[in-house]
Amino acid sequence: MSNKNDSGDPVAAFQREVADNIARQGKDADVQALARVWMRETVPYKYSYNFSWLGRPIIQYPQDMVALQEIVWRTQPELIIETGIAHGGSLIFFASLLELIGGEGRVLGIDIDIRAHNRAEIEAHRMARRIDMIEGSSIGADVAGAVARKAAGKRTMVVLDSNHTKDHVAAELKAYAPLVSAGCYLVVLDTIVEDMPEAFFADRPWGPGNSPKSAVHEFLAGTDRFVVDRTVDHKLLISVGPEGYLRCVK
C-alpha cells in the first residue's frame, strides 16, 4: 500500500509496501496456520536436506537462507560465528556473503566432530580462505575462550545450530551472546522443534519442551540486550527459526 507522500520517492514507496505486506501476513491467523501445517507435513521428508550452496549441502530452508543474507548485508559483520558445521554449506554460504561485502570478514565454525571428508571439502573450496574451524564442544570452556579471543574487537554475528537440547542451547547462549555486537544478530535455529509433534524426535535427545525455543524464552527473560525480530517470522512464514532471530539492541 503506497502513501501519497512517497510519490516522489519510488524506493521509499516500495519499502513501505513491503513492510505493510509483512505486517498483514503477521496478523493473518489463517496464513500462519497454513505455514505450520506445511512445516509439519514436510519435516518427515527432511525437506531441509534438499539444498546446497556453491556445491556444499547446507541443510537449511531457502527462506532462512534469504533472511540470513538480508541480515548479513544490512548489518555488515566482520566475524560470523556458527556452532554446528555438518557438511559445511552454511560456512560456505556466510563466507561467500562476506566475499561480496569485501574487506577482511571471516567465518568461524565450531563442531564437536568435524568429519574428515567434510573438512577436506570445505578446505578445498574457493571460499576456504575466509573460513576457520574449531573442533570441540561449543560449550567447552577452552573452545568458548578461543572463540572469544577471535571475536575481540570485531563486529560479530552468532548463529547457533548444533545440539538442540534446551540445556545445550542455553549454555551456548551464555557463552556466545556476549560476543554479539550491538545492531547485529544472534540467530538460534531449529526453534521450530518446539512447535512440532513430539513423535518427530523419538530418536533425538530434544523435542517440545526441551528445545532451542525453550532456551530462547528463558534467555530473553533474563536480558535486555536482545529482542525477537518478529518481522523476520512474519516475512518468512516458513522457517526453522521462529522467534530465533534475535537482534542485539545494546
CB atoms within 10 A of CB 179: 21
**For residue 2, what pLDDT band results from cuts at 50, 70 and 90?**
very low
Residue 132 burial by Cβ neighbours in a 10 Å radius (0-12, 13-18, 19+): middle
Residue with cell 560479530: 156
Give the C-alpha separation, 8 to 152, whole Å.
Answer: 44
Percent of the chain's residues with pLDDT above 90? 97
pLDDT in tens, 114-154: 999 999 999 999 999 999 999 999 999 999 999 999 999 99
CA dihedral 47, 28, 18, 43 (to 10 degrees): -10
What backbone torsions phi and psi does residue 168 show, to the nearest 5 degrees? Answer: -70, -45
pLDDT in tens, 27-71: 999 999 999 999 999 999 999 999 999 999 999 999 999 999 999
Arch. (CATH architecture) of 46-248: 3-Layer(aba) Sandwich (3.40)
Has residue 229 got a pLDDT over 60? yes
Element (H, E) at 210: none
E strand map for 31-190: 52-53, 56-57, 79-83, 106-111, 131-135, 156-160, 185-188
Percent of the chain's residues with pLDDT above 70? 97
**Residue 184 DSSP label:** S
**For residue 76, what pLDDT band results from cuts at 50, 70 and 90?**
very high
**Residue 205 DSSP label:** S
Residue type, 159: V
